Amino acid sequence: MNGAGSLARRVGVAAVVLLALPACTSDAPAEPEPPPAEDPTDEPTEPEPDPEAEALEETIDEITGQVAALRDLEVLEEVTTEIVEPDELAEIVTERDRDAEAVERLAASTRVLAALRHVPVDADLEGIIDDLQSASVIGLYDPTEDVAYVSSAELPLSPGAATTAAHEILHALQDQHFDLSRLDDIPLEDGDAALAFLSVVEGDAVILEEEWAATHQDEEERREAEQEQLDGAAEQLAVLDDVPAYIVESFVFPYVAGERFVASLIEEGGYELVDDALADPPTTTLEILDPQAYLDGVEVAEVEAGLPPADGEEVFASSFGAFDLLALFGAAEDPEAQAGSATWPAWRGGALRAWEVDETLVVGAAWRFADEESATTACDAVAAWYRDVANLEAEAEAEAGDDARVLQAERDAIAIGCEGPDVRFALAEEAALAEAVSAVD
């Protein structure tokens, strides 16, 4: 599904507000004063040089050239880089304008994530994401404004801020060559594809910043940059303690899994393969987790999430990828549920839908696997996951047909149907409704 992953994209929105305040000294407008006569002998004065600004510009130009050379991407136009205070960057990261449709989707995302036990029922998803980004984002590239922002409380740039600048400058070069705004063209219903594309973008930048530091910083500067990261870790950890694991995993995935993916491509065929992946990105997180699947051109099936309820109104639709499979089973404490995590390499398609029925939410989800053995393992893992998160005993399970199981908890019920390579399940307040949605058409 990765609805939260889509919401957590590092896309900045720069807003400039010009506010004109007329000055009034009386109820009647004052007579305008004539402009002062020009003295023909006056010559325009040159602005005072700003050594600090000139040094910063020189530093940014130098880093830009170094990044371009290391990554073998030509600078097609000047990269605009702004150094901002940490508080200012936090404002840029969290500032957004949401239309009515976006607000509705955010509310639906929260309800779906709560049904999957990823967030509390009363979670403020937007606030959670804002807190996470404010505490952890130290740089940002905005493809809508073509601006790279770097957080720094002082000048000249510290070694850590310089490394961040290298990372964000690469994003600018990626944008010049591969158009990163395509990320926003991916339908909201395909969060797995968005997360996969973002993983290529961020994985490339993570490897580049490490290569840049190893090439252009001495050992003392690298130690100082590492210490800067450690110094900021305390604040980040304090925030992370209050952030649901799924949100953190969605935020971290593009950097960690993306770095492994890009490293595999470089090992296989150098940066040419990375350029190919940026030009024609993978469309599933399966390919990010298994680069060979990407190189082999894995085929993914279209999967129906379930039978729509007769009186239901669809309020949410999304892919349900390999990342979501790992996130679902990885959050469980039951070993049987955790065993489901091992099935991700066999994932071959997934979908999730949610419907409003009599002011209650019904969620239907499905995966297809490459083989029936993996599907059987995942099917059993779904039941174990639900027993775990709903605090049910094993004997609470009741048979509901040849290929379906139903478990009833205080908050809702789950119906699980498994047939061949397909696993499907539905969550609803009423067990009969969940069973109807999870049934085979």
Where do the structural domains in the chain lie, given as residue ranges? 3-10+53-296, 313-438
DSSP 140: E
Joined tokens for residue 318: 């999304």
**Average pLDDT, integer, range 55-68:** 96
pLDDT at res. 124? 94
> Is residue 352 within 8 Å of residue 424, measured between CB atoms?
no
Rounded to 5°, angle at Cα 107 from 101 and 108: 90
> Is residue 435 within 8 Å of residue 415, measured between CB atoms?
yes
pLDDT at res. 62? 97
pLDDT digits (tens, 9 = 90+) for 338-349: 999 999 999 999
> Is residue 165 within 8 Å of residue 174, measured between CB atoms?
no
Q: What is the pTM of this model?
A: 0.86
Residue 284 pLDDT > 50: yes
Residue 40 pLDDT > 90: no
Of the two residues 69 and 393, the one the predictor is more confident about is 69
Q: How far apart are CA 343 and CA 375, in angstroms?
A: 8
Secondary structure of residue 94 in the 3-state scheme: helix
Least confident of 24-33, 184-193, 299-308: 24-33
**Average pLDDT, integer, range 156-178:** 97
Q: Which CATH class is domain 313-438?
A: alpha beta
pLDDT at res. 10? 33
**Average pLDDT, integer, range 134-149:** 93
| Residue 237 CB neighbours (<10 A) | 10
Which amino acid is present at 414? I
Most confident of the ranges 86-90, 128-132, 158-162 = 158-162
pLDDT at res. 39? 55
What percent of the chain has a predicted confidence (pLDDT) above 70? 85
pLDDT at res. 268? 97
**Average pLDDT, integer, range 101-114:** 92
**Bond before 156 cis per omega within 30 degrees:** yes
Output the average pLDDT for the chain.
87
pLDDT at res. 242? 87
pLDDT at res. 239? 82
Instruction: Give one DSSP letter per residue of 164-193, joined into a string.
Output: HHHHHHHHHHHHHHH-GGGGGGS-TT-HHH
Residues in Cβ contact with 42 at an 8 Å cutoff, skipping those fewer than 6 apart = none
